[in-house]
């Protein structure tokens, strides 16, 4: 009887230990995943709250669910450009943020007439964006969240264009009367889309909405980017002007390149670049690039701890976009990566034309642009 009683006691102790271990594991997982939970606009943006020392702790956006359709992006962009010289200039991000607040961020509810209706009120002067949004609880959140993605993509810039596409008044021949005096290209100031598609003009690719799909190499995780399948050697283009922050080998992304926007809010990630010759030869960490520059070449490197290994089955560019509202989010467990499928469709409106550099493995852009936004460098 003593043996049985002792056995039962030990069994009860083991059961209690198992239950406590399970509870501890659940608490640990909850703690680790707290930053990866899909948040409402209220909890995603947070508020400034006092900490134990009675000082104000800075808060910032923790999550962005960017699902604006390419159709909505294009419509808002057209309104912005078409009114840029009018008395009332419609800001495209403001229009999208209004609809985001109206839809609760769900752009499956988008209809063009919804944007047309508010645009008419603004253009006619019957209302203002401040009046339209004063009772919208989450407009400010959507304006900041969508602005973090889009604010650097539309604006004024300088562009090199063929002389035969320029207004006659821009050409020396308008004064001299001699067409031989005209250069092959001239520089003009434009307002419009100054961001580019990630792949060069004329190079085919295929894609689908693969953001969030499962990946298993190394460990099971979500795919936090957009894959563009194409031919090895296809020139990869800088979507936005910025500064090179990261280059080199990563066992998941292979040869990869990271470029930070000048306003520091966006980190563009280009991965699986070409074996042996992944980058444009003049690039190094710290280099400044202009939107539309050739920065590298599509390949299939990665999924290996051995540098310069082709271990990706299908050649493609992995294009990712991380938003940074606070520097503590960069390279942390609380990174914010957004879906780029619809954004890439929109950016196909502006593709950089590249030409082969004879005698090399490189391509270079045919026409230059200059971003008029001054860089904020350390």
What is the DSSP code string of 68-127? --HHHHHHHHHHHHHTTTSSSPPPHHHHHHHHHHHHTT-GGG--HHHHHHHHHHHHHTS-
C-alpha to C-alpha distance for 378 and 126, rounded to whole angstroms: 45
The CA-atom distances, in angstroms, between 258 and each of 45, 191, 248, 296 are 26, 27, 10, 11
Q: Note the pLDDT tens digit of each residue in 339-367.
A: 999 999 999 999 999 999 999 999 999 99
Give the per-residue pLDDT at 166.
Answer: 86
Q: Is 254 helix (H, G, I), strand (E, B) or coil?
A: strand
The CA-atom distances, in angstroms, between 365 and each of 67, 152, 235, 262, 268 are 31, 21, 9, 21, 19
C-alpha to C-alpha distance for 97 and 144, rounded to whole angstroms: 8
Q: Give the lowest-confidence range in 48-62, 116-130, 178-192, 212-226.
A: 48-62
CATH ID of 205-371, from 3.30.1330.60, 2.70.70.10, 2.40.50.220, 3.30.460.80: 2.70.70.10
Helix 139-150 vs helix 92-103: angle between axes, to the nearest 10 degrees? 130
Q: Give the lowest-confidence range in 22-31, 209-218, 333-342.
A: 22-31
Helix 70-82 vs helix 92-103: angle between axes, to the nearest 10 degrees? 140
Q: Note the pLDDT tens digit of each residue in 208-228.
A: 988 778 775 666 667 788 999
Give 56 or 234, the one with higher predicted confidence.
Answer: 234
Q: Could you give the strand order of the β-sheet that contains 369-371, starting from the edge strand earlier in sequence?
A: 185-193, 154-162, 369-371
The domain ranges of the chain are 70-151, 155-193, 205-371
Give 61 or 2, the one with higher predicted confidence.
Answer: 61
Give 216 or 167, the one with higher predicted confidence.
Answer: 167
CA 37 to chain centroid:
20
pLDDT at 18 over 70: no
Return the DSSP state at 374. P
């Amino acid at each position: 009887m003593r043996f049985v009683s002792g056995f039962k006691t030990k069994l009860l102790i083991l059961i209690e230990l198992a239950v406590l271990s399970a509870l501890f594991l659940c608490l640990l997982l909850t703690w680790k995943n707290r930053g990866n939970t899909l948040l409402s606009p209220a909890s995603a943006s947070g508020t400034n709250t006092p900490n134990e020392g009675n000082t104000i702790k800075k808060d910032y956006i923790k999550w962005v669910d960017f699902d604006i359709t390419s159709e909505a992006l294009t419509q808002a962009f057209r309104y912005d450009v078409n009114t840029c010289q009018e008395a009332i200039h419609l800001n495209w991000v403001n229009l999208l943020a209004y609809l985001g607040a109206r839809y609760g961020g769900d752009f499956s509810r988008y209809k063009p007439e919804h944007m047309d209706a508010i645009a008419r009120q603004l253009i006619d002067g019957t209302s203002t964006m401040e009046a339209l949004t004063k009772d919208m609880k989450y407009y400010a959140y959507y304006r900041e969240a969508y602005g973090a993605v889009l604010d650097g993509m539309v604006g004024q810039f300088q562009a090199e264009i063929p002389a035969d596409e320029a207004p006659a008044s821009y050409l020396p021949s308008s004064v001299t009367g001699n067409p031989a005096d005209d250069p092959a290209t001239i520089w003009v100031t434009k307002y419009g889309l100054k961001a580019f598609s990630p792949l060069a003009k004329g190079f085919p690719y295929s894609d689908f909405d693969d953001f969030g799909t499962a990946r298993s190499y190394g460990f099971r995780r979500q795919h936090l980017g957009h894959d563009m399948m194409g031919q090895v050697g296809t020139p990869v283009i800088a979507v936005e002007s910025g500064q090179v922050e990261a280059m080199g080998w990563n066992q998941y992304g292979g040869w990869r390149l990271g470029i930070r926007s000048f306003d520091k809010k966006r980190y563009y990630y280009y991965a699986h670049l070409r074996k042996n010759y992944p980058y444009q030869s003049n690039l190094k960490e710290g280099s400044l690039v202009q939107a539309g520059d050739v920065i590298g070449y599509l390949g299939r490197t990665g999924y290996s701890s051995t540098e310069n290994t082709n271990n990706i089955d299908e050649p493609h560019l992995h294009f990712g976009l991380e938003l940074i509202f606070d520097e503590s989010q960069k390279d942390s467990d609380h990174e914010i990566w957004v879906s780029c499928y619809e954004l890439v469709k929109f950016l196909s409106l502006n593709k950089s034309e590249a030409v082969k550099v004879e005698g090399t493995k490189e391509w270079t852009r045919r026409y230059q642009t200059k971003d008029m936004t001054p860089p904020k460098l350390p």
